[in-house]
Every structure is written in structure tokens, then in C-alpha cells.
Structure 1
Amino acid sequence: MIDFIAVRPDGASLLAQAPDRLPETGFLWCDCSHDEARAWAGAAQALSGVTVFEAHLLDAENPNHPSYFDATADYEMIVFRSLATLPDQAAGGEVPRLKTRPATFFLFDRMLVTVRAADSRSFASTRERLLGSRSAASRTPAAPEELMLRILNAMVDRYLELRQPLAEAFERRQRELLDPRRPFRDWYPLLEARREAGRLQDLCEEQLDAIQEWRDERLERSGPQGAAQAGDGPGLPGLSEALQVRTSDLVSHIDRVLGHARRMESSLETAVQLHFSATAHRTNEVMRTLTAITAVFLPLTLITGIFGMNFEFIPGLHSEAGFWWTMAGMAAIGIGLLALFRARAFIHESAFFGRRRSARRSAARPPANPGAIAPGADASRR
């Protein structure tokens, strides 16, 4: 079903049927869904006297079309991808998948045509505010461009609502990645999370390109030459100061979403690098500990190998105290090497007694200079 809404300075009203002409004051909003195919094109041509190009009609019907801007001498077309549904936080901290769909805006002189999904929440909320009793006359859009910017702002705000679930899901993945108690094996969901962050960046960049191209086109019309071109025929007017403020606000909202997506991807890349660095560090710690243990037992192995030779006479072999002297010497060598490695920081206490015991000893250790007085305390005494 195609809805025609007359937007006047004193308010907006839903028309029962298609009007014969555009309203004398204000503008007309023709709102339809993708299910209506091209039924809106005939009504738009009858009201504005402008024929929409076939390529633009195909773009409005394409569900995979990226955000895009194009203009002719009589109308402008903006394709803007919005969220299909706001994904809930998945169980287990899974990163929500982004599902988007396009909404197409056709800007004519004193008429706005929107082609969108039938269940679009952004368009429904804008219509409720526009037609509801809360919509005061002072808040009624004065031009089709202002109404389009309001709808686009509502669509971008839904992207801003993604920040919390995305941030929580990415934070959970980072904690799992850096957890030293268990190895990380869920690499495919991690790659999917990185893919969603990159996809969100691409969406925002396409949206920025489309809005900035439309703004540049209108700013060119705002100059002396653009005003003359607009006054020669049915062309569109330039961009007023109020619309420039609204457009800048919309661009700043898209920049916020884009910056958040870039920060998430950067933090994920940093977490992956920290994971591999921590894994390499733990591997080096294990190898250093094993090397130190091997170095401790190497002279002991040499001693046992010497006394295990099949010679008829070995000093101390037939002595009653030879075994105990040998064991004492081996223990002294082992303890001496351990003390030497500990003094040279080749091994740490945590390698043998665990990290918790080392942390408890470090916490219970008194400060290096307990009698020192802070500079602020010393000054107060003076």
C-alpha cells in the first residue's frame, strides 16, 4: 500500500487517496514498501511531471544495493542501508550478525518518495511522531530534505544502539583469548567477529560517501551559479543553513559508529597480538626452566656415568662412606647451580612453587624505604 502524507506548516495529515496535485503549502510524502514494485513511479510522475529513469527504478528494487547517491536535473536519489533487525545479545557472548537492507529516497521539488521495507522501525517511528498528537507545528519539517534527514538520523541511531552488545561480545572474546588457564581454540568465531567489525566499517563508509556527495551537490546549488540554475527550471534548491546543521549532525553520528567499529577491530587485533606474545613468553619460560633443570642434572649425570664405568679399580668405589660422599657432592653441586641460576635470574621462584606463592610473597614484602616521607607530608610539617 502506498501512503500519501501532506506535510504543511500547521501539521501533517494522512490522505485517504492519491491527490491530484501537490499541496499549495508544504510538501507531499509518498511512502511505500518494496512490495509495491513500481506502483509509486506513476503517481510520482503524475504529481511532479518528472519521469524516473529505469536504472534508478532497478536500484530501488535491488535488495543488495549499497549506500549510494545519484542526481539528475529534476530529482535526486539516495540509497541508504539500514539495520533489518537490531540483534539481541547472543547467548555465550557471541558477536551479533549484522543484517541490513536498503531504503531509497527520491527527492523531487516539494515531494519526497521513500521506498523501504514494510516492517521498517525507523520509518514507523518517524510517521508516528509526524502524525501523532505530540508533533507540534513548530516541529513539522519545512522541506522534503529535512524529513529525509530526520529519517536517516533515526536509521543511524539504530546503529549506535549496537555499540553496547558489540562491545560486550568483543570484550568476552578478548578475555577468552588472553585467559592463561586454558588455550584458546575458537578461532572461527573470532574471525567472524573481526569480519563483522570490518563489515560495519564498510557500511559506514558507504553511508558517509552517499551523504557527503548529496551535501556537496546541494552546496553547489547554494552558490550564485547554483541558485541561477535552480531558478531556471524545476531544479532542486540549494542547502539552507538549517539543513547544513542537520546534515553535519547526521555525518557526525555516522562518524561515531565508524570510529567505534574501528576501535573494536583495533582492540581485537591488539588482543590477538597479545595472545601470541603471551604464548611465546610462556613457551620461553618453560624452555628456560627445562634448560636450567637440564643444566643442573648434567654434572650429576656425568658423575653417575663415571662411577658406572666397568673399571676394576675406581677411587672410593669400595669405601663404606663413598656412596654418601658422592650423594653429598651431587646435592651440593645441584644446590649450587640452582643458587647460581637464581642469582643470575635464569629461573624464577614461580617456575617451581607457582605464581600464587610468588604473588603472596611480593604482596607481603615491606616497602623499600618505609621511613621515607612523601613530599606533600613534609611540606605540611614545615
Structure 2
Amino acid sequence: MDIFHISSQQATMCSEAPLGLPADGFLWVDTTREEIADHIETWRDEIERISGVAIYDLHLTDIMNLTHSSYFDSTNDYEMVVFRKLRMPTTAGEAANKQAQTESDAAPSTLRKLVTQPVIFIVMDRLVITVHAENSTIIRAARTKLLEYRDRGNTSSRHGRLPTSPQEWMLRLLNTMVDQYLDLRQPLTTQIDRWQRALLNPRRPFNDWIALLDARIALRKLDHLCEEQHDALQELRDHIIDTYRTGEDGREKDLLLVRTNDVIEHIGRVLGNARRLESSLESAVQMHFSAMSHRTSEIMRTLTVITALFMPLTLITGIFGMNFEVMPLLKDKIGFWLIMGAMAMIVVGLLAYFRRKHYLEG
């Protein structure tokens, strides 16, 4: 468990747990789920000693639940947000395996295995608690950025500023987590486009149906995931509006609403993109079967034309193949050539008729 004191001037890591909340700024308690798995009651007691607020038992259960969906809950003392983020490869082996899958013809790992994990936010007046899995790249990057911050006054706005409240810091982290989903748009779109071309390629039959089904399942999973995230952030937004009291700093509330709306808008973009990709995938499959049906129809038309051409010829050969002693042209010297000429004229006449009726187009 690492504790950071974030003031208006700088952010520092506390060498030991403070005895209470600071008068200036707020505290950020960053914890991994593995650290508190075996002694979560001790961790709750430590949080209560720092903040004076005890976390409810049901919320402790939610913290340790790895399958919990995204949601928002509030009490008189704190608000709790569960947000499912993408689990990115944390080791060199995982990263190499993911790159190899992405560059292959099979579906990339982002399509076949959309792995997520819950991140817990508990927000109080001057305290924010995060509980996440080990090796979280987003949290690690956020900690580094906080500690490297230096107040540069008003000389430049490029360096940003420190968060002024626990709610703002939570929304910043949430926004970064949502951006991970936005980064999926390019590989997903590229893979869907590749499948569309493969499905409509008449020279090579498409056989990667299992990967296509996995992609559709992953997109549907992403759709449901974004809906849960959207509902949770919408409830958070409503809570910010409902808990505003007359006389409080309205600008601070407006800034929180702006950040919340921005995160909700990003989730909406991910949701819309997932639905568009799913629709494109289904449309490509429908076009594939339509093309196959059209190709089958063309083959059947060709076979029908060939059959129609040979039917009168078969009739003529069948008649002259009967075992009668007396038949016209049977013993004539030019009888064979007359019959062959008549058969050729029939074929030419039928071809002209079929062309006139547009049976031979395409």
C-alpha cells in the first residue's frame, strides 16, 4: 500500500501512513489486490485509522471480486466506482505473443481474448483509494507523472496541473483507462477489413469461421462492457449533480461534470465503434453468402444453357440410333453430313436465341 499526498504545489509519497487527512490537498492510497488478499480486515482498519471512515463488508467483498461488472454505489461517507479496464500484456513473453498473433492471418489477441480486470475507486472528501491488479501500466504511469510534476507557475500551460480533488484524480485515471479501449479501434478495424476482403475473394474459399465467431463474441462482449461502464459513469454524474449544495464552489462542480461528461463521451465512442464493427462483420458475412449464392446461380445458368444446347442434339442422335431397317438418310451418301449440318444450325440458332434473351450475359 503506497500513500501519496497531493497538494496544489506538488505530489509526494509518504514514507509512513499519516495519522489523519491533510489540511491541504488530499491523499491517494494506492493498493494492489494481491497485497490485501490475505489481510483485508487489517487493510480496512488502516484506512479507517487514516480517514475515520469504515468501509462496509459488502464493499470489501466487491473489492475482491474479480468478475464484478462496472457499477457505482454511494454511502453517506464515500462513493465507490468499479470500472473494468483492459488487461494489457505485462511481460515480454506476453507482448511478443500478442504481436505474433496480431501479425498473423488469425484474429489478433484483442479480438480473440478481450481480457478485462476490475479497478476499484473509493472516494471520500480528502481521500481516494484505488485497488487494482499488480503491474497496472496506467497506475504506474500515473504515479510516475505525479512524482515528476514540478510547479512551473504561469510560464507555460503545457505541463498541466495537479488534480485539486479526489474526484478529479479518479476521473483522470478513468479517462486514461477508457482511452485504452479507443486504441483498439485501429487493430479491430484492420482485422475486420481483412476478413471482408477474404470473405469476398472468389478465388480462395474462406475457412476461418472459428476466428470470425470469436471476433463476433468479443465485439458483443465489448458492447455489453461499454454499456455497463456508461451506466456506472452516468450514475456518478447524477450523484455529483444531486449532492451539490447551494453555497459550494460551483466552478469545481462544473469542472467535475465536464470531466465526467468527457469520460462518458469516450465510452460512447467505444460503444458506437464496437457496434459499427459488429454490423460490418455481419454485413460481410451476408455479402459472402450472397456472393456464394450468385456464383451458384451463375454455374447453374451455364449448366442449363449447355443442357439446352445438347437436348435437341441428343434427340436427333437417339432417333437415328433406333434399329429400323428403313430410315430416311440412313443409306444416303451425304446423310451424315446433312445431319451434322442440321445439328450445327440448331446449336447456332439456340445460341443466337439465348443471346437475344440475354441468357448468356456475364
Same fold (TM over 0.5): yes
The equivalent residue for 1:345 is 358
Q: Which amino acid aligns with 1:207?
A: Q
How far did 1:136 drift? 5.3
Deviations 1:195-250 (A, max 9, x none): 111111111111111111111112111255xx8xxx9xxxxx99700111111111
Cα displacement (A) at 1:135: 6.5
Contact 2:71–2:83 (CA under 8 A) maintained in structure 1: yes
Instruction: Name the counterpart of 1:70.
Output: 73
Q: CA deviation at 1:185?
A: 2.1
Q: How do residues 95-134 of structure 1 correspond to structure 2 at under 5 angstroms? A: 95-96=108-109, 97-133=113-149
CA contact (8 A) 1:33 1:118 kept: yes
How big is the shift at 1:183? 1.8
1:218 maps onto 2:240 in alignment = yes
Letter in 2 for 1:116: H
1:314 aligns with 2:327: yes
Extract structure 1 runs of 4+ deviating beyond 3 A. Answer: 133-138
User: Following TM superposition, by how much is the alpha carbon of 1:93 offset from its aligned partner in structure 2, in angstroms?
Assistant: 4.5
2:347 is aligned, of 310, 334, 353, to 334
In structure 1, the partner of 2:5 is 6
* Residue type of the alignment partner of 1:11: Q
Alignment of 1:252-271 (within 5 A): 252-271=265-284
Match of 1:145 among 167, 170, 174: 167
One-letter identity of the residue aligned with 2:323: N
- From 232, 242, 263, give the equivalent of 1:250: 263
Match of 1:274 in 2: 287
Matches within 5 A, 1:227-242: 240-242=253-255
Q: Percent identity?
A: 48
State the shift of 1:180 in Å. 0.7
Equivalent-residue separation in structure 2 for 1:136 and 1:214 (angstroms) = 33
Q: How far apart, in 1, do the equivalents of 2:57 and 2:152 lie?
A: 39
Give the distance between the partners of 1:48 and 1:113, measured in 2 at CA.
11
Give the deviation of 1:294 after TM superposition: 0.6
Q: Secondary structure at the match of 1:240?
A: helix
Q: Which residue of 2 aligns with 1:182?
A: 204
Partner of 1:292: 305
Residues of 1 paired with 2:258 and 2:356: CA distance? 68
Q: Which amino acid aligns with 1:123?
A: I
Instruction: Give the C-alpha shift of residue 73 in structure 1.
Output: 1.1
Aligned to 2:58: 55
Shift, 1:133, TM fit? 3.6
2:24 aligned with 1:28: no
Distance of aligned partners of 1:95 and 1:194 in 2 relative to their CA distance in 1, 3 Å threshold: farther
SS at 2:307 equivalent: helix
Asked if residue 301 in structure 1 is aligned to residue 310 in structure 2, the reply is: no
Judge conservation of contact 1:222–1:238 (CA < 8 Å) in 2: no
Q: Which runs of 5+ in 1 are unaligned?
A: 232-236, 351-382
Query: 2:11 touches 2:149 (CA, 8 Å); kept in 1?
Result: no
Judged with a 3 Å threshold, the aligned counterparts in structure 2 of structure 1 residues 134 and 341 are, in CA distance, closer, same or farther, namely: farther
Match for 2:223 among 195, 201, 205? 201
Deviation, 1:7, is 0.7
How has the CA–CA distance of structure 1 residues 124 and 330 changed in structure 2, closer, same or farther, with 3 Å as cutoff? same
CA distance in 2 between counterparts of 1:110 and 1:223 reads 18
Cα distance in 1, alignment partners of residues 185 and 43 from structure 2: 36
In structure 1, C-alpha distance between the alignment counterparts of 2:24 and 2:232, rounded to whole Å? 29
CA contact (8 A) 2:223 2:271 kept: yes
Q: Structure 2 residue aligned with 1:160, among 175, 178, 182?
A: 182
Moved more, 303-312 or 144-153: 303-312
Shift of 1:176: 1.4
- Aligned mates of 2:307, 2:347 — CA distance in 1: 11
Alpha-carbon distance in 2 for matches of 1:171, 1:320: 67
Partner of 1:353: none
Q: Mind listing any 5+ residue stretches in structure 2 that lack a counterpart?
A: 90-97, 154-159
Amino acid at match of 1:187: W
Cα deviation, residue 40, structure 1? 3.2
Q: CA deviation at 1:344?
A: 0.9
What is the distance in 2 between the residues matched to 1:259 and 1:220?
A: 28
Aligned residues: 338
Q: TM-score, normalised by structure 2?
A: 0.89
Instruction: Tell me the C-alpha RMSD between the 2 structures.
Output: 1.8
Partner SS state of residue 139, structure 1: coil
Against the structure 1 CA distance between its residues 90 and 197, is the aligned structure 2 distance closer, same or farther, given a 3 Å change threshold?
farther
CA distance in 2, matches of 1:200, 1:95: 15
Instruction: Tell me how far 1:134 sits from its aligned partner.
Output: 5.3
* CA apart distance, 1:159: 1.1
